[in-house]
Amino acid sequence: MMEMGSKARAAAEALRGASAETRSAAIRVIAGQIRARAASILAANAEDVAKATRLVDRLRLDEARLEAVAAAVEQIAALPDPLGEEMARWTRPNGLDFARVRIPIGVIGMIFESRPNVAADAAAICLRSGNALILRSGADALASCLAIGEAISAGLEEAGLPADCVQIIPTADRDAVGALLGGLGGTVDLIIPRGGKSLVKRVEEEARVPVLGHLEGICHTYVHAAADPAMAREIVVNAKMRRVSVCGATETLLIDRAIAPALLPPIAAALRDSGCELRGDAESRALVPDIGIAEEADWTAEYLAPVLAVRVVGGIEAAMAHIARYGSGHTDAIVTEDKTAAELFVDRVDSAILLWNASTQFADGGEFGFGAEIGIATGRLHARGPVGPEQLTTFKYVVRGNGQIRP
Amino acid sequence: MMEMGSKARAAAEALRGASAETRSAAIRVIAGQIRARAASILAANAEDVAKATRLVDRLRLDEARLEAVAAAVEQIAALPDPLGEEMARWTRPNGLDFARVRIPIGVIGMIFESRPNVAADAAAICLRSGNALILRSGADALASCLAIGEAISAGLEEAGLPADCVQIIPTADRDAVGALLGGLGGTVDLIIPRGGKSLVKRVEEEARVPVLGHLEGICHTYVHAAADPAMAREIVVNAKMRRVSVCGATETLLIDRAIAPALLPPIAAALRDSGCELRGDAESRALVPDIGIAEEADWTAEYLAPVLAVRVVGGIEAAMAHIARYGSGHTDAIVTEDKTAAELFVDRVDSAILLWNASTQFADGGEFGFGAEIGIATGRLHARGPVGPEQLTTFKYVVRGNGQIRP
């Protein structure tokens, strides 16, 4: 493991010297290698699927899905390169010329579970942003990831970059996670964990290097008293049901008391028609009798399933208090025609993404226009929300003078 | 301690609702309170000084220094407010309007040693950026800081903000540091440590929340073969000797073999005339016999004293390799008339601040035009280099729609 760290550090050094075009070419070649090695990747994936007992659909690849993986990688090759950008430039009265220049972070350690496409996406995004990557796959997806890793290595070498730019830890040993969280002797600059609560807890306890956390999305859609009824219904159904397994899926519906009698029954009917189970507080169950009972745990549940918690609230202050207490700071939406209420909500709710009259399912790097993402950061520092290539960079100051000394 | 955390969280909430003008007014009132309470602050400081055995000069306040503290606070009141700024705004083809809006980080825990003015500066910078602050002073400066803290509390209350916006831990107990590093039950968003190596080590081991590290400044000035001789001499003397106790002071001089015979003797003479001791490698000692012997430890020494390590190098690659091996990623400078060499140096050296033909003593938020700073961050994430009010902010995305659902 320590050797992987020093190899990654050397690869990061090589990447800092590689041009945008070299890195783009490498990403394109990797896409080609994924296509060329489809048979062996799918065979490895079949092994993983045969052993899997849960989340099998997340894990499974077929020809169409693998083509989508390769196409997504290719798209990242076409994204604008973030490196070298002058983020700001200014001159001081003493003539010193200051530039803030975008540079790679260095070596990124990523820990993830179940979805083998993450290996390809993360590799491409890290190459786009000039970072070396050490990937630790969960046991479920390990064979698939190692097969994709062979395509990545072959692609890197074909493009003239060190294969060590992307290394996949070849074991599902839990000690490997500990070593990565310890920073591999100071060689890892950033840890990106993507996984369930047990991983999150372990990262919090053991990480000795900065972490860009991707915690759960307990997302709310709040239907305000001044909501347009048809829009509210459409947004709620989409926010919950378009894809229930994404972190931007709404998990709790809050609805104002003033309009709940008129609006909750049709919204509940539309949700039920789309296959969603509802669990509500007493007030919502009084309005729609076939809503089930919500326990306290439902307000903090990330269902990732066709289940929605429902609560009637007394107004915007109560809605914001509910979100402050139970939310995860990921994504929250208000539906209203009242601009003042909307601006209050987006100003006061302290989440990474606030939406007014739109579905929480837009919490996605592609929808933001970032071209790609490796997740949605829920921490407060460095990057919040979708993490694309630009979010995996940092900066340095370059100060150009002509002999200035400080008085 | 846990209660301080929940009070700080409540104060942070109040600060998020406070206008720029309210926060400016509070900072101005604090400056006034520091002046009004000069006698009690200086009496408390005299207690600290009487007990102090080291770094007494850093610790000591007098009327002039206290007035400088108040004036620095007042300047922060006049700085532009960073909050609410739209850092970016764009519209997607589906009509969704995206804004990235600057917001406070939340609750900041700061651990510092010796300099009582840090308490006032940090309080003002945190108010300017809308963050609540918990300060932990070293034992040396505790009485001074508590006295300044009384002025801060009085100022906050007079301005109508909760006194808990800035809390000073009233004990020098080491357990208090542990509690702060543990995050006080999830209430602390960021730790800013400023201190020596033992503190840094402890922070690395114990911190369970993000850290904006202010590590040592092992800064280099590299005199390239194509340097202007007079400029090189002036810059080296200023970079080392203007103030030896700042983190941007040069600690190692690297000089190209090609010009060392001509340039090192006059630079060494100028340094000696200004009171600087030199410790060099064999090659530099062969050129200037009264240079002392540099041990391996001298290349990683942050002297903060009138001592300079000196090494003759074979060229720019050797200079960059020395900096990569021994530097701390803080601030490094090249002196040269050769633009190609300068651009190679600022591109390849991986430090927060790179200077061409200027003194490393410009590593300072005021000199950057940030108005104020609470230190120079040496980590790679979120903020690098001088940390002023803007660097103590984060952002949220506000997405405004008119009923968009995701296909």
Taking alpha carbons only, the member of A264, A265, A243, A239 closest to residue A252 is A239
Helices B63-77, B20-36: inter-axial angle, 10-degree rounding: 170
**CATH 3.40.605.10 in chain A, residue ranges:** 2-214+387-400
Instruction: Identify which of B279, B316, B317 has the alpha carbon closest to the alpha carbon of residue B301.
Output: B279
Probe site for chain B from A240, A381, A384, A402 (most B CB atoms < 10 A): A381
The ipTM (two decimal places) reads: 0.93
Average pLDDT over residues B111-133: 93
Average pLDDT, chain A: 94
Q: Give the mean pLDDT of A298-318.
A: 97
Interface test with A, best of B231, B382, B396, B402 (most A CBs within 10 A): B396
Chain pair A-B, CB pairs under 8 angstroms: 183
Task: Please give the average per-residue pLDDT across B167-176, as a whole number.
Answer: 90
A354 contacts B398? CB cut-off 8 A:
yes
Q: Percent of chain B beyond pLDDT 70?
A: 100
* pLDDT at residue B33, as a whole number: 97
Residue B188: list chain A partners with CB under 8 A: none
Judged on CB neighbours under 10 Å (0-12, 13-18, 19+), A157 is: middle
| Architecture (CATH level 2) of domain A219-367 | 3-Layer(aba) Sandwich (3.40)
Q: Is A164 on the interface with B (CB under 8 A)?
A: no
Mean pLDDT of B340-349: 97
Nearest-Cα distance to chain B for A403, in Å, is 5
Is B175 touching A (CB cutoff 8 A)?
no
**Cβ atoms of residues B324 and B297 within 8 Å:** no
Instruction: Decide if B226 touches A, using CB distance below 8 A.
Output: no
A352 and B397 within 8 Å at the Cβ level: the answer is: yes
Query: What pLDDT is attached to residue B397?
Result: 97
Give the residue on B whose Cα is nearest the Cα of A378: B396
A232 to chain B: closest CA residue: B403
Query: Mean of the pLDDT values across residues A96-124?
Result: 93
Q: What whole-number distance in Å separates Cα of residue B335 and Cα of residue B355?
A: 8
Query: How are the residues of chain B apportioned to helix, strand and coil, as percentages rounded to the nearest 5?
Result: 45, 20, 30
For residue A222, give the nearest of A101, A31, A78, A358 by alpha carbon. A358
Q: Judge whether residue B40 has pLDDT over 90.
A: yes
Percent of chain A residues past pLDDT 70, beyond the cut: 100
Please tell me the distance from the alpha carbon of residue B332 to that of residue B248, in angstroms, as a whole number. Answer: 9
pLDDT at B114 over 90: no
pLDDT of B204 > 90? The answer is: no
Q: How confident is the model at residue A289 (pLDDT cuts 50, 70, 90)?
A: very high
Query: Is residue A55 scored above 80 in pLDDT?
Result: no
Give the pLDDT band (50/70/90) at residue A198: confident
Structure confidence at residue A226 as a pLDDT band (50, 70, 90): very high
Mean pLDDT for A142-149 is: 96
The H-or-E segment that residue B266 falls in is helix B260-273
A353 at B interface, C-beta within 8 A: yes
The correct CATH number of B2-215+379-400 out of 3.40.50.150, 3.40.605.10, 3.40.50.720, 1.10.10.10 is: 3.40.605.10
B325 alpha-carbon distance from chain centroid: 23
The distance of B238 to chain A (nearest Cα, Å) reads: 6
CB contact under 8 A, B380 and A16: no
Q: Give the best residue of A100, A349, A380 to mutate against chain B (max B CB count within 10 A).
A: A380
B340 vs A: CB within 8 A: no
Quick one: closest CA in B to A87, which residue? B87
Q: Decide if B406 and A356 are in contact by the 8 Å CB cutoff.
A: no
Nearest to B167 by CA among B121, B132, B130, B125: B132
User: Chain A: residue nearest B207 by CA?
Assistant: A208
Task: Give the pLDDT confidence score for residue B80 in this predicted structure.
Answer: 94
Q: How far apart are CA B165 and CA B18, in angstroms?
A: 12
Instruction: Answer yes or no: is pLDDT of B55 > 80.
Output: no
Partner B, chain A 283-322, Cβ-Cβ below 8 Å: none
Delimiting residues of CATH 3.40.605.10 domain(s) in chain B: 2-215+379-400
Assign B57 a pLDDT band (cuts: 50, 70, 90). Answer: confident
For domain A2-214+387-400, give the CATH number. Answer: 3.40.605.10
| Residue B199: pLDDT over 90 | no
C-alpha distance from A46 to closest chain B C-alpha (Å): 30
CATH of domain B219-364: 3.40.309.10
Cβ atoms of A385 and A353 within 8 Å: the answer is yes
CB B291 within 8 A of CB B277: no
Region(s) of chain A under CATH 3.40.309.10: 219-367
The answer to whether B168 faces chain A, any CB pair under 8 Å, is no
Render pLDDT for A316-356 as a digit per residue (tens, 0 to 9).
999 999 999 999 999 999 999 999 999 999 999 999 999 99
B143 contact partners, CB below 8 Å, separation of at least 6: B44, B45, B47, B48
Closest CA to B24 of B86, B102, B80: B80
